[in-house]
Structure 1
Amino acid sequence: MMEFLTEVFDKTIEILGSATLVGGLVALFAQEKIKGFTNKNVEKFKAELKSAHDVEMKALDRKLKVEDEMQEYKLSFLHSLNDLQSRIYHLVKSDMAGKYYKNGDEQSKDYVVNNTVFLIGQYFAWLEKIRTEVQFIQLADSNDTNTLSKLLDQTVTVWQENLEGKATFAVWAGNQRAIGEVMLEKTDSGRHCIGYGKFLTEFSNKKNPIVANLDIQVLALLDDVGASLDRLKSIHSVLIDTIILIDKDQKIERKFLEKLV
């Protein structure tokens, strides 16, 4: 084999006339091969780097999307909590039922009934959305998230438990979820709670049995707020605790979050 290579080398010198030139050509050939090999490695490295970057960016996009959704859930849920706690507070402390339902005109009566039903339904709608789509709202502190989960469970209980042997103004767990379901509508960006206008259009005729049953409960409540006072206080307390827990930026002024005593 060596004799063959030597013969080829000698013939190449004979043709080209210089051992130095042949050596140079061999070195150039080797350099080009190394260069080609190096370029392939560089391109491969670039491709791998780009792939890793794409994966990282997709993960970041997903994380930001989840955070945006969480923020949306948190703000919408916060407003539903505050709307309902405010209504309960004024029913108990400001005699809202006496002023606008018992002694008001027909328009005032209709508003108090329909809007109270809507505020309760809106609250259950956001609870249902949280349960089915995000399970729970992630807060900055994991302990707060656990506390929130417990408060949401407590919410189910205070709406349905018998208080002193009475079940006035009670909404059972299954009905809570059913109300939430009918109050949610599908949109291009997911399910959202319907607005008050659409609620009046679709449910004021009392044909939906789920909402009609809640309407009956609200009418009974407005006839005698005192009979449901213990439940209202329990519900209101949980609402206030939930607001304070998730509203770290104090978007809702604390002076409007007075608990019923």
Structure 2
Amino acid sequence: MTDGGLLSGILPTVIGAFCGWISGGVGGFFSARHEKKKAVHQREKEVSVYSEPLAHAAFDLQSRIYNIVERHFMNHFYVHGDERTREYCVENTAFLISQLFCWFELTRQELYYIELQNEKDTRQLLHLQDNVQTLWGTDKTKYHGIFCLFAGEQRAIGENLIIRRDGSSSCMGFAQFMDTFPPGKNKQIDILREEISKLGANEHLARVRLIDIQNLLIDLLALLDPKFLRFPQKSRQKMQLRNAR
């Protein structure tokens, strides 16, 4: 066989092997890329189970605090309200606070799932939660002892609202909160109700603590919703003590 004949016999085999190698490499590359995208999507889905309701809880509570401080919510609907509005003021505000404590507790317990895009963000999340807990429980003179909830009380309140079902954990809604914890049923939540009721006559003394808490909740929203996709920027402004009317 001539060299040309030998080459013509080998060449198709070499080319076929090379093409197969290239095809396998390209296919493997795209397969790995697809699996990576799937893993990222699954991770985002797992994180959203906790981060989204935590963000909603933070937004709802900061909105209520804004209404208490800037629009005198307690004065209008509790001090000068009827039985229905007084009950709503206390019960719904108690729920909004309890809901935040519940999601705080769940993120602590399920930290593996709440890890954000990087370790820095995760540390910042825990730092903000600790700051809220500390601020709510401190007895510093500037807070006048009004609207104070100790760390253990906060965690107990949060634990009370946790619902565990089919291997997953969540927070009960307002209706279930009302049915499960009527006045006199739970000591920690009754303490919370009492502190809220005091705001009616002592709103001015609670302003510093309320504003400081609202500011931390805005920081929490900046971490969980930095691009304002869920909550508009105009509804997430930090209150200033000098501007509180």
Query: 1:82 aligns to what SS in structure 2?
Result: helix
Q: Bigger radius of gyration, 1 or 2?
A: 1
Cα offset for 1:190? Answer: 1.4
Runs of 4+ in 1 over 3 A off after TM superposition: 59-67
* One-letter amino acid of the counterpart of residue 97, structure 2: I
Is 1:216 the counterpart of 2:194 in the alignment?
yes
Indicate conservation of the 8 Å contact 2:162/2:169, yes or no: yes
Is 1:105 the counterpart of 2:82 in the alignment?
yes
Q: TM-score, normalised by structure 1?
A: 0.73
Query: 2:237 aligns to what SS in structure 1?
Result: coil
RMSD (Å), alpha carbons: 2.3
CA distance in 1, matches of 2:113, 2:193: 28
* One-letter amino acid of the counterpart of residue 101, structure 1: Y
Indicate conservation of the 8 Å contact 1:114/1:204, yes or no: no
Query: 2:110 aligns to what SS in structure 1?
Result: helix
Query: 2:170 aligns to what SS in structure 1?
Result: strand
Query: 2:141 aligns to what SS in structure 1?
Result: coil
Q: Counterpart of 1:258?
A: 237
| Higher RCO (C-alpha 8 Å, min separation 6) | 2
Q: Counterpart of 2:212?
A: 234
Is 1:163 the counterpart of 2:135 in the alignment?
no
Indicate conservation of the 8 Å contact 2:128/2:220, yes or no: yes
CA distance in 2, matches of 1:136, 1:170: 31
Cα offset for 1:201? Answer: 0.7
Any gaps of 5 or more consecutive residues in structure 2? 1-30, 241-245
Is 1:150 the counterpart of 2:127 in the alignment?
yes
Q: Counterpart of 1:83?
A: 60
CA distance in 1, matches of 2:63, 2:169: 25
Cα offset for 1:138? Answer: 2.4
Query: 1:224 aligns to what SS in structure 2?
Result: helix
Output aligned runs, 1:115-134, within 5 Å: 115-134=92-111
**How many correspondences in the alignment?**
206
Given the alignment, which residue of 169, 172, 183 partners 1:194?
Answer: 172
Cα offset for 1:223? Answer: 2.6
CA distance in 2, matches of 1:160, 1:191: 26
CA distance in 2, matches of 1:97, 1:238: 22
Q: Counterpart of 1:71?
A: 48
CA distance in 2, matches of 1:66, 1:171: 35
CA distance in 2, matches of 1:124, 1:90: 20
Is 1:96 the counterpart of 2:82 in the alignment?
no
* One-letter amino acid of the counterpart of residue 49, structure 2: E
Q: Deviations over 1:109-128 (max 9, x none)?
A: 11111000000000000000
Cα offset for 1:98? Answer: 1.3
Indicate conservation of the 8 Å contact 1:237/1:259, yes or no: yes
Indicate conservation of the 8 Å contact 2:46/2:113, yes or no: no
